[in-house]
Amino acid sequence: MRIEFVRSGGFAGIRLARTLDTDSLPPDQADKLEHLVQEAGFFELPDIPQPNRVVPDSIMYQITVTAATQTRVFAVTENTMPAQLRPLLDYLTSLAKLGPAS
């Protein structure tokens, strides 16, 4: 599974980005990522219309997941995020803070 993650915006405007491939991650991280993608129902999440105007200082997320024959790009703001996506985004944020792309 390949995941491209970008978090941008916020008060400080700090951008976090990381590309992860579960084949090159430690097994515990790979297993956790695959589990979180499945638990979020990532490929089944309904598209969320983005607001016409950007809320000042809001955090925006873009996640692209490629698994087997499926690829999906999902964009969401902190205010429009489905609750089941929060654990995945929190984990991706922590991995992005750890270092460069794998």
Give the whole-angstrom CA distance, residue 73 versus residue 13. Answer: 22
Residue 11 carries which DSSP code? Answer: S
% of the chain beyond a pLDDT of 70: 88
In this prediction the pTM is 0.85
Please list, in sequence order, all residues whose beta carbon lies within 8 angstroms of the beta carbon of residue 38, skipping any fewer than 6 positions away: none
The answer to whether 58 touches 78, Cβ cutoff 8 Å, is yes
pLDDT digits (tens, 9 = 90+) for 67-101: 988 999 999 988 888 999 999 999 999 998 876 64
